[in-house]
Amino acid sequence: MLRIGIDTGGTFTDFVVLDDVRLTIFKLPSTPEHPERAVLDGLARIVGDRQDYLLQHGSTVATNALLERKGAKTLLVTNQGFEDILEIGRQNRPGLYSLKGSRPEPLVPARYRVGLRERTLWDKTSLVPLEDKRLERLNSKIDQLKPDSIAVVLLYSYLNPESEQRIGDVLSKLDIPFSLSHQILPEFREYERMSTTVINAYVQPIMSRYLSALTGDERVARGKLTIMQSNGGSIAPASASREPVRTLLSGPAGGVVGAFEVAREAGYDRIITLDMGGTSTDVCLCDQTIATTTEAQIDSMPIAVQMLGIHTVGAGGGSIAWIDEGGLVKVGPESAGADPGPVCYGKGNRLTVTDANLFLGRMDPDYFLGGELKLYPERVQEELQSMTAELEKMSGRSWSPEELAEGIIQIINTQMEGALRIISLQKGYDTRHLTLVTFGGAGGLHACALARSLMIPRILIPLNPGTLSAAGILRSDVVRDASLTVMANSSDPDLHNRIAEAFEQLAREVYAQLNEQGFVEEQITLEKSLDCRYLGQSWEINTPFGESFIDEFHNLHERNYGYSNRHLPLEVVNLRLSGRACYSKPPFPTFELEGEDPPIDSMIQEKQIILDGDQVRAGFYLRNKLRPGNRLKGPAVILEYSGTTLVPTDFELTVDRALNLLMTPKHRT
């Protein structure tokens, strides 16, 4: 069956097409104003008059709407007296020593937060029932404010959802999408549940319109479409339309899945992934598995659904260089995107990281996207001279274009290094024991500098790195997550039976959702875990569920915090169940090793490039000509359709059996 992986990024939309065993890749410029256009244009090149195929899609539509604050006008309905939870939050101070404390504006302003007189208690009983006249007043408020979407979050609705369901019955008669918190996140912690539900409502109309535009096209309708989630699995479009909060890290999650599988096949299961595209860089640490978290944040807003532990910074090939009021050069987070794009694309007039790399000779203007996209290096020279002149006026010293270009690269490297430190060194991981798996169109140009700074001993660059996220989406499983707060004590003699009954309830939900996608129970694997803590603690550790889960929790607590107390009782807070089914996965082909010397026709030219202020002569090689077992020493540049790799003077490169590029410092083995 024809299978198509699609990843929509801020600059390019990537396509990976698997037709039996033949793999084809290509990129199209993204169309941010109407992102479905690039997807449909790509499908027009692929499907022809075929009738049966699988489309697996990762989208940034919900992410961009949230980050750019371009979501729906949202109304929040909650308990009277609790309207400001969204604004108060946890009173955390991320900038502990900042002299000017600030927090982002909430997605829902005060006048769009409505409190209803209703109160359910912790034991599920109703203290203040929800009266019909309150619902009538809610209708009047909706008529007055005319929201585009509605979020409903009542206290303890995860235990007793009756009041939320009554509100939902009223809202279902209106032509307005709404999100009920007991359906989106049936867990305790009112702030996290409110934030997650509000985000879902905020992006729901935009995601629904996007998916409607896709599914309404006859080329999509002829196939089967799945949407990538932030947890590394995919769901049906109807589910993604109802719960778009689960797709916020859709594309980056595909990249992590692809990178981990490629690295594991190559023999490395402790990795850091670095996905550097045109707009941002996404990093993730995988220690023998792809871990998920419920403590993710985007733009300081908590999102408590299962997500991969991805950290994102606004540092990409299209990140714009600019001069601040004090005369300092800054890079990003604003990106030139697909339109107008970097200066070298021919339309933009603001310097980017891609322009700096091109000027320094680290890219070939005649081989960008395999020669499909013409670059204009002369325009970069003009803009660099203009920017250096501005710097000279502000700083009083002279600057060369070469200094400025290398400065731009150093700034963006520092930003990416900071992101890598957050997920590794700051969490106790020794980077000397990890492998850096680099992908995205721009990742290979910066990988060695980052590995050098963090003492990472090995870099792996997969084949077709610029489309790895789409390839990872193509290899993703179909996954449905379900959770439930139970607040059970380990001293309860009926604990195991109580947990088992609750898991049966969650399993019925998951089976029903996966049955809708055509899977039967025999094809579905269930993964059960518990959020546990010592009685009296505030935060939990996710623990695999089994007969000895209590001992497992003590072991995890000791590993994470350096101690455990096996005499203390445990509290089981949440139950988590993940249902997983999978389509057949394309194999990774391997080849016999050949000689160490690259073929003569693999090097297309030698020319001067700039590294660390010096002009050095580097060979430019075509990656598709390199063979397994080939070795070469830097300085060198490796060219391929979806990316460019820089091998500095102090690194060497080996091609492995799967045609991955392995780069290591010359003084190490």
* Cα 590 from chain centroid (whole Å): 29
Write out pLDDT tens, residues 540-549. 999 999 888 9
- Of 156-170, 469-483, 651-665, least confident by mean pLDDT is 469-483
Counting residues of the chain whose pLDDT is more than 90, the rounded percentage is: 67
CATH of domain 2-66+208-246: 3.30.420.40
User: Pick from 266, 372, 276: which is nearest to 318 by CA?
Assistant: 276
Q: Is 526 exposed, middle or buried (0-12, 13-18, 19+ CB in 10 A)?
A: middle
- Read off the tokens for 510: 């998951």
Tokens (6 digits) for 234: 């995919």
109: helix, strand or coil = coil
pLDDT at residue 587 greater than cutoff 80: no
* CATH 3.40.50 boundaries in the chain: 69-203
Give residue 525's pLDDT band: very low, low, confident or very high (50, 70, 90): very high
Considering the chain, what is the average pLDDT of its residues? 91
For 350-386, b/e burial (b = at least 16 CB within 10 A) is: bbbbbbbbbbbbbbbeebbbeeebebbeebbbebbee
Average confidence (pLDDT) over 548-563: 90
Q: What's the confidence (pLDDT) of residue 177? A: 95
Which pLDDT does position 410 carry in this prediction? 96
- Tally of CA atoms within 13 A in the half-sphere of 170 that contains its CB: 21
- Rounded to an integer, the average pLDDT of 40-45 is 92
Question: Could you tell me which residue, 93 or 289, shows the higher pLDDT?
Answer: 289
Q: Which amino acid is at 476?
A: S
pLDDT exceeds cutoff 60 at 668: no
Residue 483 neighbours by CB under 8 Å, 6+ apart: 185, 186, 187, 506, 574, 575, 576, 577
Where in the chain is CATH 3.30.420.40?
Answer: 2-66+208-246
Q: Which residue has the tokens 């209106």?
A: 174
Q: Apex CA 648: angle with CA 646 and CA 649, to 5°?
A: 150
Residues 55-113 pLDDT 10s = 999 988 888 888 778 899 999 999 999 999 999 988 777 677 777 767 778 999 999 99
The neighbour count for residue 561, using CB atoms within 10 Å, is: 9
pLDDT digits (tens, 9 = 90+) for 356-369: 999 999 999 988 88
Is the pLDDT at 538 greater than 80? The verdict is: yes
CA 390 to chain centre: 37
Rounded Cα–Cα distance for residues 126 and 587 (Å): 56
Give the tens place of pLDDT for each residue, 361-397: 999 998 888 888 888 899 999 999 999 999 988 878 8
CATH of 69-203, one of 1.10.3470, 2.60.40, 3.30.420, 3.40.50: 3.40.50
pLDDT value at residue 571: 94
636 bridge partner residues: 619, 647
- Is residue 152 within 8 A of residue 197, CB to CB? The reply is yes
Say how far apart CA 579 and CA 528 lie, in whole Å: 9
For residue 669, the model assigns a pLDDT of 44
pTM for the model stands at 0.88
Nearest Cα to 572, choosing from 504, 500, 626, 668? Answer: 500
- CA distance linking residue 609 with residue 350, whole number of Å: 23
List the structure tokens of 540.
């939990």
User: Is the N-terminal amide bond of 340 cis, ω within 30° of 0?
Assistant: yes
Residue 604 exposed, middle or buried by CB count within 10 Å (0-12, 13-18, 19+): middle
